[in-house]
A and B are shown apart, each in its own frame.
Chain A
Amino acid sequence: MASKTAANEHHGFPWKHLIGFVLSIVLTLFALWIALETDLSMTWILIIIFGFAFLQAALQLLMFMHVTENSTKSNLTSRVQIGNILFAAFVAIVIVIGSVWVMTAGHAKHDKNQHAPKTENHENHGGGSEHDSGEHGSHE
């Protein structure tokens, strides 16, 4: 049933989708190239590929996900829309910042420099020396 209305809205060649698709692929390949083929420092690589990632997310929201379309029909739909976007932002922030915090606090931080067998973790986090050693007795 729903397809009836959907079918009326889209006609003609889906240029928008095609451009979005091609640009997404180009951005991904670019990121890959920066990471594998250039000899920029780690920090710069991270900054650049993060930049590409945000760009691509924005692109997809625009080209595929109809962010700019606002519903004039009912304000329930737009409220739901806004709620959804806010919740998405909340979840994304929780996942990223939460993970970084959890994975670098306390024990995980010690791992870098202290325990011999498990230390190949990261390059140079530098955080290994200031720590309180009280909170982890047993680990292996």
Chain B
Amino acid sequence: MKWDEFFVTGDPMIYGADVSIVLTMVGILFYLTKYKKWKWLWDEWLTTVDHKKLGIMYIVSAVLMLFRGGVDALLMRTQLAVPEAKFLDSQHYNEIFTTHGTIMIIFMAMPFLIGLINVVVPLQIGARDVAYPYLNAVSFWTFFIGAMLFNISFVIGGSPSAGWTSYMPLASNELSPGPGQNYYLLGLQIAGIGTLLTGINFLVTILKMRAPGMTLFRMPMFTWSSLVTMVIIIFAFPILTVALALMTFDRLFGSHFFTLQGAGMDMLWANLFWLWGHPEVYIVILPAFGMFSEIISTFSRKTLFGYKAMIWSMLLIAGYSFLVWVHHFFTMGSGALVNSVFSITTMAIGIPTGVKIFNWLFTMYRGKIQFTTPMLWSLGFIVNFVIGGVTGVMLAMAAADYQYHNTYFLVSHFHYVLIAGTVFACFAGLIYWYPKMFGYKLNERIGKWVFWVFTIGFNVCFFPQYFLGLDGMPRRVYTYSEESGWGPLNMVSTIGGFMMGIAFLILVYNMYYSFRYAKRETTGDAWDGRTLEWSTPTAMPPFYNFAKIPEVTGLDHFWRQKQAGKVEKLKAEDIKPIHMPSNSGVPFIMASFFFVAGFGMVFDWMWMAIAGMIGVFATLIYRSFEYNDGYYVSVEEVIETEKISK
């Protein structure tokens, strides 16, 4: 391979990206060196096993990915604004919709949610960390490295262009030559390790590390939704792992699992992909449901309506989510019986979802509603998500889906559920738990601007797409003719897209503004909350979370304590030494070896792949022989930390 093939050349936008990447890197290196921050970076972040810090790193990465995916989106909307535009050529457009979809689902939505779960769940169940803190660091770093590997594709080697679904035979060597598609396979594979480990880690954490008295049916709803999500992750992700591995074999080693030659089955890829893919959409929506439950209950000043119904409907959704995958390829033509069965299961899954909507409405009914920004996002969610759900049920009718499939109608459906569901939840959750993470709230006035600009922009962007779809505009086309008549609505849609971009910028400005000017919280209870994470005496909990593990007597324990005026004060004699896990640099190093291995595989440089894997195994072996049982925080230190912070 020659150097001019190694780097992507020829496009001025890519050169611009090259320059900005190099400048950013130089800037960061300069800053770290000038202000002597290297040690700080290593000690406080790269080696940390603290769930709160890992959570923050997840969220920061997700926001960066939201930016990258958002830029992709605006490039596409610019190209589509007018008929026969020449802004992007078809290959470039294909690459952009592929990276947009992949990044938004795998590297934005999931890490954002997992980040919030990391920060909040251990606090909500009264634990000092997760069950396997070290593994948690491995999860984060493999996710991060997978994301980075995927992201460098657009400057080194070329991006994948077969869609986030990467159907075969389009994604095969013949039709997608070059390293692009390998980036997809390896990036997702490495990040997938992290996701699977997170699934195991939080399942065990929630089952085993709850504070005394917190029975399963006393857990906050966000914790419940995380638990169910983890179960889905554990059962769905292995399917993706295997499917990705098989396609990697096809592309790198000449096997014939999904190829057209040699008795391969191309549609088996679609089948496996959606066997994972549909559960995946529930992986990104259930934690969102959990967050809205917390927020709506907090700001309605009422216990969640139908707590048990909520839980049972989530469990049902978890089971059902494995029974509907064929609705993504009704048009493959598996026959009337198969399509009918999956039509019915798909419609049935709408029922538990509907139950939850009513529960939120009844929670608000006769509550004293406070219209804070997290609450606004939650209300916006209910209205817009219903539109997405209703159009989902329309798509679920197999016969009708022959019309809607792969048109903008479908595009609009999944943006109404993914943006109004997952993204709204990420924003709501970020704002709601911001004081837990950083010690101050985001400015509410600016926050409301963000909400309105974003929500209006969102509807302006995606509502017209339903009509474009009904009018026959296919998805994944890089341009369309004047005569099609799709021009005006596309222009409207593009305007809406840019409004969302502006809202994102205001959100980032709000982070800066609040960092400078926001009033610092003096207590741990910024919103007059109900659950244990608000019960820490300081705004940001110390690294061990709770000096004394709380004892829980029922749902909304902290709220009821406050109502009864019986919030316990911490007494020095209650404090015992606290056992905590030690930091470790191994997860970061292991992930770096994964990067080397992945990069080697992408370019089919086996020496490099093998060297990288040897490194990975070396770190595994090192870890196996490492006897580090953590350390104890002394009573004096705890007393001092708690005093200082008062």
Interface of A toward B, CB cutoff 8 Å: 1-4, 7, 76-77, 80, 84, 87-88, 90-91, 94-95, 98-99, 101-103, 105-108, 118, 120-123, 135-136, 139
Contact = CB atoms under 8 A, between A and B. Distances in A.
A103 B271 contact: yes
Given A102-B326, A105-B335, A106-B335, A95 B209 contact: no
List the 5 closest pairs (A to B, CB-CB), nearest first: A106-B335, A107-B333, A136-B333, A106-B334, A2-B131
B235 A87 contact: yes
Interface in B121-139: 128-129, 131-132
A7 B263 CA distance: 49
Contacts of B579: 1, 4
B629 A3 contact: yes
A76 B215 CA distance: 10
A1 B129 contact: yes
B275 A95 contact: yes
A139 B338 contact: no
A84 B319 CA distance: 12
| Interface residue tally on B, bucketed by range | 35 or more
A105 B323 CA distance: 17
B332 interface: yes
Contact of B239 (A87, A95, A107, A136): A95
Contacts of B204: 2
A21 to B, nearest CB: 13
A2 B337 contact: no
29 contacts: A2-B208, A2-B209, A3-B581, A3-B629, A4-B629, A4-B630, A76-B216, A77-B207, A87-B231, A91-B322, A94-B322, A95-B239, A99-B268, A99-B272, A101-B338, A102-B326, A103-B265, A103-B271, A105-B335, A106-B336, A107-B332, A107-B333, A108-B332, A108-B333, A108-B334, A120-B260, A121-B263, A135-B335, A136-B333
A87 B323 CA distance: 13
Contact of B261 (A87, A90, A120, A136): A120
B581 A1 contact: yes
Contacts of A102: 271, 326, 334, 338
B262 A120 contact: yes
Contacts, number: 86
Interface in B258-276: 260-263, 265, 267-268, 271-272, 275
Nearest to B323: A94
A20 to B, nearest CB: 16
Q: Is the interface of A mostly helix, strand, loop or mixed?
A: helix
A105 B231 CA distance: 30
Most buried by B among A4, A91, A99, A121: A91
Interface string B317-336: 00100110110000011111
A123 B580 CA distance: 59
B261 A103 contact: no
Given A103-B268, A107-B334, 10 more contacts: A2-B204, A2-B208, A101-B338, A102-B334, A103-B267, A106-B337, A107-B333, A108-B267, A108-B334, A120-B261
Contacts of A95: 239, 275, 322
Contacts of A101: 338
A45 B231 CA distance: 35
Given A1-B579, A95-B275, A123-B263, A90 B333 contact: no
Residue of A94, A102, A121 most packed against chain B (CB within 10 A): A102
Contacts of A99: 268, 271-272, 275
B318 to A, nearest CB: 8
A95 to B, nearest CB: 6
Nearest to A107: B333
A118 B267 CA distance: 12
A32 to B, nearest CB: 13
Interface in B154-184: none
Nearest to A137: B333
Nearest to B205: A2
A107 B319 CA distance: 28
A90 B207 CA distance: 21
A1 B545 CA distance: 13
B316 to A, nearest CB: 13
B336 A135 contact: yes
A100 B335 CA distance: 14
Interface in B176-226: 204, 207-209, 216
Contact of B337 (A105, A118, A122): A105
Interface string B233-256: 001000100000000000000000
A15 to B, nearest CB: 16
Nearest to A3: B629
Contacts of B260: 118, 120
B52 to A, nearest CB: 16
A88 B235 contact: yes
Nearest to A7: B629
B360 to A, nearest CB: 27
Interface in B593-646: 629-630
Nearest to B338: A105
Contacts of A87: 231, 235, 319
Contacts of B629: 3-4, 7
Contacts of B129: 1
B174 to A, nearest CB: 14
A91 B272 contact: no
Scoring A2, A7, A123, A136 by chain B CB atoms within 10 A of each residue's CB, the highest score goes to A2
A139 B333 contact: yes
A87 B234 CA distance: 11
A102 B345 CA distance: 15
**Among B131, B208, B334, B581, residue most surrounded by chain A Cβ atoms (within 10 Å):** B334
A48 B323 CA distance: 30
Contacts of A106: 333-338
A135 B333 contact: yes
B235 A121 contact: no
Given A106-B333, A120-B260, A3 B323 contact: no
Nearest to B239: A95
Contacts of A107: 332-335
A138 to B, nearest CB: 9
A123 to B, nearest CB: 7
A80 B215 CA distance: 13
Contacts of A77: 207
A78 B333 CA distance: 43
B617 to A, nearest CB: 14
